[in-house]
Structure 1
Amino acid sequence: MSTTTVTQSVPTAETLLRLFPDIDTSSAELEGHDAEQIRLMDEVCIVLDNDDNPIGTASKKLCHLMTNIDKGLLHRAFSCFLFDDQNRLLLQQRASEKITFPDMWTNTCCSHPLGIPGETGSNLPDSVAGVKRAAQRKLDHELGIKKEQVPFEDFHFLTRIHYKAPSDGKWGEHEIDYILFIKANVDLNINPNEVQDTKYVTADELKALFNDPKLKFTPWFKLICQSMLFEWWENLDSGLEKYTNEQEIRRM
């Protein structure tokens, strides 16, 4: 199938309504949630077919309602793993205000490239560039990490993971998730509306955290840890290139 690069001029509502005529567009599910998090639900995600080709855009809210996910609505995301000079991974605990997966521990930063210039892409190289720019934007927004400390060229793209996961009865994820690694020493200035805690861990410390019944982890982070994370981590300083730029999408 032919695809076009998604820009803001795409007639997105028509495209989506044609593909998903019974899409749930109500806003009742947002009642009672944090005002800033409700505002962020208006951000425009990139809607995909199963092969990561953009087919339109839709709000973050529409993309994360289980009623729409169950109809096949799929969007692009990224998961960034930031390591310090001791090869410790920076974890974050999501804020209680978050609408999806609140209070859960996860990797450094997980979010979405948006349907805006510089973050879209209809081929893999452009899409990878888009998620790297999105990662810089969100590392700053969530953790106060300035772009200068995480240069574009220092991000390594490893692979894409296609997965589906419910958060609660109403919300969930259905994403093609781009995995990014970066090694950098950074200064944190945490946005408490996004993140309630952070922690640097070694691989062994992370494995121990998984055995703590009091802690909850996001489903995508658990998937990545159970599949390839520890092998990638072992090769962070030598041999990582054999895992980078994987062309096939991993289906979880």
Structure 2
Amino acid sequence: MHRVAPIRLLSQKLSSRAIHQLKPPGPNILRGPSSTRPTIRTLPLRYIQKPAAMSTTTATQTTAQTVGTVRITAENMQRLFPEINTSLRESVASSSELEGYDEEQVRLMDEVCIVLDEDDKPIGSASKKTCHLMANIDKGLLHRAFSVFLFDSEGRLLLQQRADEKITFPGLWTNTCCSHPLGIPGETGDTLEAAIVGVRRAAQRKLDQELGIPAKQVPLDDFEFLTRIHYKAPSNGIWGEHEIDYILFTQKEVDLAPNPNEVKDTKYVTADELKEMFQNPALGFTPWFKLICETMLFEWWGSLKDLSKYTNEKEIRRM
């Protein structure tokens, strides 16, 4: 009988292609919120190069092999495998910043946002939580967002009051829908044209999720892209916004079924009625909505029947 030498990994560094080809069975690599480091599953032998001299008989008789590896920890994971996204580990870790918040809103903080440079070029991705912590915003972390302004056939703007369960800017009045395209295929775009397609898809998705508006009532091509605004605003001592926000207009008659975990109230308003709301000290408004209202909203609103001279602006407006 031939003696079999222990199998050794040829290299500790895996290529991106090799990592994507490895599909070991089983659920998430993390065992639950109590884990402090990922558990890496042992690779099946078929993923490891066999010595050329191994015979069929020997391979059959050998039921287990010892694989020499470096111990993988949360601290050295990125150094050894830069292709691996560690957001899963971060999402299950305990977070004092999120203690006491609504369970569903905490879950949504794991959504992956598109991280940008100041020219709106995607340079990475990070969790919604990471992107909205003021500690990161103060260091310059910037992500992509969108704001939908939906008008009815009479030209009234649909407003929503954010639910009290929201982690950022709870209870404040704002435009129809404001959220983020996700770092997923179909919603990420490197060019302006591709990014517009991505935010339209995200807008359609979130109008349904927040307000119960069926996708068929807001076709993608009916969202008119006007411009982008770059702004930064704190919510409280912990949370805030730092976004390049895509402004989308659409005029539709829609059915509403608001999600109470997202939306506290809705109302259609004329331009004059909105101006009156701003005079009421008992009402609060999101910072991006106030910025848009103070600059261009009422001019755009007055040209609702023909927005052609305002659409597809290339320059980013810095607020």
Give the Å deviation of 1:11.
3.9
Change (3 A) 1:57 1:35: same
8 Å CA contact 1:66–1:172 kept in 2: the answer is yes
Deviation of residue 96 (structure 1)? Answer: 0.2
Q: How does 1:39-118 map to 2 (within 5 A)?
A: 39-118=107-186
Aligned amino acid, residue 312 of structure 2: N
Aligned to 1:196: 264
CA–CA distance in 2 between the matches of 1:150 and 1:124?
A: 21
CA–CA distance in structure 2, aligned partners of residues 75 and 28 of structure 1: 23
Partner of 2:242: 174
State the partner residue of 2:230.
162
Partner of 1:17: none
Deviation at 1:26, TM superposition (A): 6.9
Q: Deviations over 1:142-167 (max 9, x none)?
A: 00000100011110000000000000
How far apart, CA to CA, are the structure 2 residues paired with 1:158 and 1:111?
17
Which fold has the larger relative contact order, with Cα–Cα distance below 8 Å and residues 6 or more apart in sequence?
A: 1
- The reply to whether residue 209 of structure 1 matches residue 277 of structure 2 is yes
Deviation of the 1:27 alpha carbon: 1.8
2:138 corresponds to which letter in structure 1? Answer: D
Q: Is the 8 A contact 1:12 1:57 kept in 2?
A: no
Deviation at 1:28, TM superposition (A): 1.1
Aligned residues: 234
| Counterpart mapping for 1:17-56 below 5 A | 27-56=95-124
Partner residue, 1:250: 317
- TM-superposed CA distance for 1:13, in Å, is 4.7
Residue in 2 that maps onto 1:150: 218
Cα separation, 1, equivalents of 2:94 and 2:298: 41
SS of the equivalent of 2:249 reads: strand
Q: Unaligned 5+ residue runs, structure 2?
A: 1-19, 21-81, 87-92
Q: TM-score, with normalisation over the residues of structure 1? A: 0.90
Paired residues of 1:96 and 1:103 also in contact (CA < 8 A): yes
- SS for the counterpart of 1:241 is coil
Q: Distance in 2 between matches of 1:166 and 1:118?
A: 30
Q: Deviations over 1:170-211 (max 9, x none)?
A: 000000000000000000011000001000000000000000
Pick aligned residue for 2:197 from 100, 115, 129: 129
Deviation at 1:37, TM superposition (A): 0.1
C-alpha displacement at 1:228, in angstroms? Answer: 0.2
AA aligned to 1:34 is D
Report the Cα distance in structure 1 between the residues aligned to 2:175 and 2:287, rounded to whole angstroms. Answer: 11
Partner of 1:6: none
Partner of 1:241: 308
Q: Which has the higher strand share?
A: 1
Letter in structure 1 aligned against 2:314: Q
Amino acid at match of 1:55: I
How far apart are the structure 2 equivalents of 1:231 and 1:11? Answer: 47
Aligned partners of 1:208, 1:236: CA distance in 2, in Å? 20
**Structure 2 CA distance, aligned partners of 1:139 and 1:210?**
24
Work out whether residues 48 and 75 of structure 1, in 8 Å CA contact, stay in contact via their aligned partners in 2. Answer: yes
Q: Deviations over 1:91-150 (max 9, x none)?
A: 000000000000000000000000011100000000000000000000000000001000
Identical positions, percent: 74
Equivalent position SS for 1:208: helix
Partners of 1:49 and 1:154 lie apart in 2 by 28
